[in-house]
Each structure stands twice: as structure tokens, then as C-alpha cells.
């Protein structure tokens, strides 16, 4: 199975600061059709995960533009500029290029 390694495990932040989360894959996530199926989810405490980004850099409907996904191949990053209180929680990267689809272990965005 494809292993997604997220760093850091926890990211202490001050509100208004920028945060950055890395997701590295054990193999390239470029599908044979040319698409890269790398997604980002946020799970707030006590809630279901919610989709932020699909295909590396596309924001899901309603997701603020302070969330920016980037990367290629096996190296991806989620940047959150101007962190707000509602951004706190656990972020997961997810790949659907290879079978079975797999999630990273998560990065907890928390207040300093």
C-alpha cells in the first residue's frame, strides 16, 4: 500500500500566522490518466472529516482561499495563511491514485 508521511505530527500556531503541512508519498501519485489524486481533509474535534482540497490544488466549494494546496509527484504541501480559530483540528492527506486509497496519519493544528 502507498504510505503517506505527514509532517509535522503537531503544528502549534498563533492565530493569524501561516501554517504549512507536508505530505510525502512512498511512490508517485501521478495516475496513468495524468491526474494526481491527492486530497486534503480537516477533521475538527467531534466532527466528520471535511474535504478541503482535491487533485492537489483545487479548493472544494466554500473552502476559503487561505487554504492552498501544491506539489507534484510524491511531495505535497498544504499552506494555511492567516490561521483562524475554525481552522484548528487534524489535517489528513489522502491518495486515491493507487489501490487501496490511503490516508496519512494526520497533523494536528493547535494553538501555541
Partner 1 sequence: QVKLLQSGAALVKPGASVKMSCKASGYTFTDYWVSWVKQSHGKSLEWIGEIYPNSGATNFNEKFKGKATLTVDKSTSTAYMELSRLTSEDSAIYYCTREGQGFAYWGQGTLVTVSS
Q: Does 91 bind partner 1 (CB under 8 A)?
A: no
Q: How far is the CB of 16 from partner 1 (least distance, A)?
A: 28
Grid cell in block for residue 23? 505530505
Burial class (CB in 10 A: 0-12, 13-18, 19+), 100: exposed
Q: Using CB under 8 A, which of the segments 14-22, 25-33, 55-63, 78-86 binds partner 1? A: 55-63
- Selected from 33, 45, 48, 85, the binder of partner 1 by CB under 8 A is 48
Using alpha carbons, list the distances in angstroms from residue 51 to 1, 28, 81, 112. 22, 22, 18, 25
Q: Does 2 bind partner 1 (CB under 8 A)?
A: no
Amino acid at each position: 500500500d502507498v504510505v503517506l508521511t505527514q509532517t509535522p505530527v503537531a503544528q502549534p500556531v498563533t492565530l493569524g500566522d501561516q501554517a504549512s503541512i507536508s505530505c510525502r508519498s512512498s511512490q508517485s501519485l501521478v495516475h496513468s490518466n495524468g491526474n494526481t489524486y491527492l486530497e486534503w481533509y480537516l477533521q475538527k474535534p467531534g466532527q466528520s472529516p471535511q474535504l478541503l482540497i482535491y487533485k492537489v490544488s483545487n479548493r472544494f466549494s466554500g473552502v476559503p482561499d487561505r487554504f492552498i494546496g501544491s506539489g507534484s509527484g510524491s511531495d505535497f504541501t498544504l499552506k494555511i495563511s492567516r490561521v483562524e480559530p475554525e481552522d484548528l483540528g487534524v489535517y489528513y492527506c489522502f491518495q486515491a491514485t493507487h489501490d487501496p486509497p490511503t490516508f496519512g496519519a494526520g497533523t494536528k493544528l493547535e494553538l501555541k
